[in-house]
Amino acid sequence: AQSVSQHNHHVILSEAASLELGCNYSYGGTVNLFWYVQYPGQHLQLLLKYFSGDPLVKGIKGFEAEFIKSKFSFNLRKPSVQWSDTAEYFCAVNTADTGRRALTFGSGTRLQVQP
Amino acid sequence: ETGVTQSPTHLIKTRGQQVTLRCSSQSGHNTVSWYQQALGQGPQFIFQYYREEENGRGNFPPRFSGLQFPNYSSELNVNALELDDSALYLCASSLSTSGAAETQYFGPGTRLLVL
């Protein structure tokens, strides 16, 4: 069974600092990769996704992620965070090999941006 | 375009009772997935419905059951509630087409408290 690891559980940054959140998955086949964000009091929203093609994907609000197949990683980055980026971030994966499209989520990273 | 909606927003039940949660999928979507998100954790896949049939199930007991209706809305039923069933229940809808990757869009969730 596939699994997703997010090693940073709680990250505290000052505004304008750069952000990188780690995500590693365990599955040897073809995967689809996602980052979702959950702002305080709001529902899960899609930040960006990777299905195929260019391994560097750009999402909303200046976020980007890089798929490195050899490292089974899909790290999320943002060059300069804002206070409004305070939220919980979830990495998720599903496999492209089966008919089931269930998402497997990591445990999440809580990002706190201080003004 | 209407997003994913869920009802009710909050619910309090006692141990042993039964509960039904409802979800309306996003316009144009034909697949509904249900997830359980315990406090401080990532969402866990319960099951998925496609064309009114269960299309995959996570590691949840049979007392978790579901339905999908012809209009693609869905229900999650939980019998014999246990204290550990207290969680945020998320519904996600997507458009499934043969062989194509898909993106799941989440509703705001129903927060269930079992006393």
pLDDT at B97: 74
Q: In terms of CA atoms, which chain B residue is nearest residue A3? A: B44
Which runs of E-coded beta strand occur in A1-115?
Answer: 3-5, 10-14, 19-21, 24-26, 31-38, 45-50, 56-58, 64-68, 73-78, 87-95, 104-105, 109-114
Interchain contact A44–B (C-beta under 8 A):
yes
Distance in Å, alpha carbon of B39 to nearest chain A alpha carbon: 10
In this predicted structure, what is the pLDDT of residue B100? Answer: 63
- Residue B96 or A114, more confident: A114
Interface contact flag, B42 A43, Cβ < 8 Å = no
pLDDT in tens, B71-109: 889 999 999 999 999 999 999 999 887 656 688 999 999
> In this predicted model, what pLDDT tens digit does every residue of A66-92 receive, in sequence order?
999 999 999 999 999 999 999 999 999
**Residues of chain A positioned with their CB less than 8 A from the CB of B25:** none
- pLDDT for residue A2 is more than 90: no
Reported as a single tens digit per residue, the pLDDT across A30-72 is 889 999 999 998 999 999 999 989 999 999 999 999 999 999 9
Judged by CB atoms closer than 8 Å, whether chains meet at A51 and B56 is answered as no
Chain A residue numbers touching B56 (CB-CB < 8 A): 99-102
* Chain A: residue whose CA lies nearest to B92: A44
In a mutational test of the B interface, the residue from A101, A104, A107, A109 whose CB has the highest number of chain B CBs within 10 Å is: A101
* Rounded percentage of chain B residues whose pLDDT exceeds 90: 75
Note whether A60 contacts B: Cβ–Cβ < 8 A: no
Q: What number is the average pLDDT over the span B42-53?
A: 92
If you measure CA to CA, which chain B residue comes closest to A93? B103
pLDDT at residue B61 in the model: 96
* Separation of alpha carbons B35 and B38, rounded Å: 10
Per DSSP bridges, beta strands B74-78 and A3-5 are unpaired
A32/B101 CB distance under 8 A: yes
Instruction: Please enumerate in sequence order all residues whose Cβ is within 8 A of that of B61, keeping only pairs 6 or more positions apart, or say none.
Output: none
Instruction: Tell me which residue has tokens 């998925």.
Output: B48
State the amino acid at position A90 in one-letter form.
F
In this model, does residue B17 exceed pLDDT 70?
Answer: yes
When pLDDT is cut at 50, 70 and 90, the band that residue A98 belongs to is: low
Q: pLDDT at position B51, please?
A: 85
Q: What integer pLDDT is reported at residue A73 of this predicted model?
A: 96
Compare CB distances from B45 to A43, A49, A102 and report the shortest one's residue: A102
What is the mean pLDDT of the segment spanning B4-26?
97
B101 and A102 in contact by Cβ < 8 A? no
Identify the CA nearest to A28 among candidates A85, A115, A95: A95
Residue A51 near chain B (CB below 8 Å): yes
Which of residues A100 and A19 earns the better pLDDT score? A19
Q: Is the pLDDT of residue B56 over 70?
A: yes
All residues of chain A having their beta carbon less than 8 Å from the beta carbon of residue B102 are 101
B89 and B81 Cβ atoms separated by less than 8 Å: no
